[in-house]
Amino acid sequence: MQLRATLFLIGTFLASAAQGFNISPLELKFPLLHHLRLLDHEPSVSYNLASSKTFKEHNFSVPIDHFHNESRYEPHSHDHFNIRYWFDASHYKKGGPVFLIAAGETDGTDRFPFLSQGIVTQLAEAYNGLGVILEHRYYGQSYPFANLTTKNIRFLSTEQALADYAYFASHVVFPGLEHLNLTAGAVPWIGYGGSYAGAFVAFLRKLYPEVFFGVVSSSGVTAAIEDYWQYYEPIRQFAPSDCVRNIGTFVDIVDTILIEHAKNETLKSHLKAVFGASSSTSDDFFVSAISDVLGAFQGRNWDPAVGDGTFQRYCKTLTSPTLLYQQNNTIKRWTAQLISATKFDATNSSLVTGMLNYAGYANATIFSRLDQAVGISSSKSGQSLEKSSGVSWGYQVCTEWGYFMPGSSVPKDRLPLISRLITLAGVSQFCKDDFNIKTRPDTDRINKHGGFNFSYPRAAIIGGLADPWRDATPLADGTRPRDSTDEEPFILVDVPAEDVWDGIRGAVHHWDQNGLSKEDVQQGKTAPKVIVDLHQEIVRFVGVWLKQWRKNDVDVSDPTATTAVGPGQTVLEGN
């Protein structure tokens, strides 16, 4: 079976594309893992369909190439193409601002809930604003070319997409509102984005300050990092300690067999058999397959309709005192023998049971289902590429952003939570295989905008304490301390475990963007107090910004208190 086969289903990360970064580096290398994971996440579709509104699709023509002085885009193009957008004018009154949601690295329709019931909905209602979603070039249906190739994907870059957004804000005429001048400069435009889109809107504010009056960067990864081994460390810090201990132990057992006993084919064969994998399964795919589930930690959310319960179920499996999967005596005997070949105690029945459950989970979710991948077509044939979010984000990873997550780079003073056999060279191999890219990602193209030190007036920085991406943001541990002000809000969000439905401390990835619908509220659903307070704070400081808008004497009355944020980084946390 060709394990490099690809089937990318656009717009889903774990429970929802609302969580950003819908394809992990391991899944970029082995897209089969993405396909198998999505089989378990049909509820994400219901979340998108549960958006309390639907929005009409519109198209806007932008240049394919905004930078004719840049050699990286040669041969240049003078053509245009359409990018999709959607808007909600239900709260709009003349003179109100435009709130632009950056769709980021997914299909723009995946952002509908942000427009129908998220924080942007609250902002539009509070300030009589227009809410807009603009799709990113090379995602969804916003492609410049009918057929995608390794040659014409060259126009996919952060700077080209940023220029699209500035061009759109400067020229758009909204259908049904043709009598109004809603372009940037005539009314204030406020950008909002999370994850990659969070960094994206931050850069919009800095590069096009005359176009975007303010932005809210939620979990915005303003620092591009080639070797981002730190991604899994928040699991070590915030996940249940017994679960973390078991993950590290079981990974170390696997690594010991595959690394220290690499020439013992019998032992390796027994290891893979315990997990339900064929002895012919490559070590590379094997360790990637059993490590990929940790990405589910990012998929958590304060709202169970949005959040993914995979990580919670995974931890309960690994820490269960009872055997959860039926195993024959041979598998049990081999498991004990495998543990005996490591530094761990094979007479510890709890350890043996945990290892069997660890292997059983991997078999049930991955190895027993590989036959479902039969018939999946390759994403690449010669120069031809599949139009998918995975291919597009993979290209951006390889050219500018990095974010490869090798276990081999984890410091030696701790057990890695993913295998040390996952190396930087190995996890980035798809760059050469898929795009013929043989150079390292040029992260300087991103980090020149400020990286960890990104700062700009009316650019809010918001992030979750337990976010795996926090160490790629200005809120990373070890970055310079900052005061949070109305001019530059700087907010770290901490939601206690007892206020999160899965019982694990948050916040994680841009938890501020989603909200409850009117139907949810009518049914008695509530958000954690920290999230409610955060939403109120965002509405308040955006109101302060809008008061600064004097050009057209727009009425943007602030419905909330106007007291300034006190000095020091603001930490929103529960009692």
Residues involved in catalysis: 195, 467
What span, in angstroms and rounded, lies between the C-alpha atoms of 436 and 51? 40
Helix axes 241-255, 283-291, angle to 10 degrees: 180
| Strands across the sheet containing 380-381 | 148-149, 384-385, 380-381
| Strands across the sheet containing 189-194 | 58-63, 80-88, 130-134, 98-102, 189-194, 214-218, 459-464, 490-494, 570-573
| Cis-peptide into 199, omega within 30 deg | no
In this structure, the chain runs to a length of 575
- Are the beta carbons of 507 and 495 closer than 8 angstroms? yes
What span, in angstroms and rounded, lies between the C-alpha atoms of 151 and 140? 19
The phi and psi torsions of 65 (rounded to 5 degrees) equal -125, 110
What span, in angstroms and rounded, lies between the C-alpha atoms of 130 and 164? 19
| Distance set, CA 156 to CA 44, 57, 86, 105, 160 (Å) | 27, 22, 22, 11, 7
Q: Which of 214, 196, 208, 221 is nearest to 102 (CA)?
A: 196
Query: Which is it for strands 570-573 and 130-134: parallel, antiparallel or unpaired?
Result: unpaired
| Distance set, CA 110 to CA 31, 43, 229, 300 (Å) | 20, 13, 28, 17
| Distance set, CA 84 to CA 57, 113, 149, 168, 172 (Å) | 7, 17, 21, 11, 12
CB atoms within 10 A of CB 241: 11
What span, in angstroms and rounded, lies between the C-alpha atoms of 219 and 230? 15
Residue-by-residue DSSP string for 105-171: SS-GGGGHHHHHHSHHHHHHHHHTPEEEEEPPTTSTT--SSSSEETTGGGG--HHHHHHHHHHHHHH
Give the ranges where 292-440 is alpha helix by DSSP (H). 310-318, 329-340, 349-365, 389-396, 424-427, 429-435
What span, in angstroms and rounded, lies between the C-alpha atoms of 50 and 538? 25
Tokens describing residue 78: 């003078």
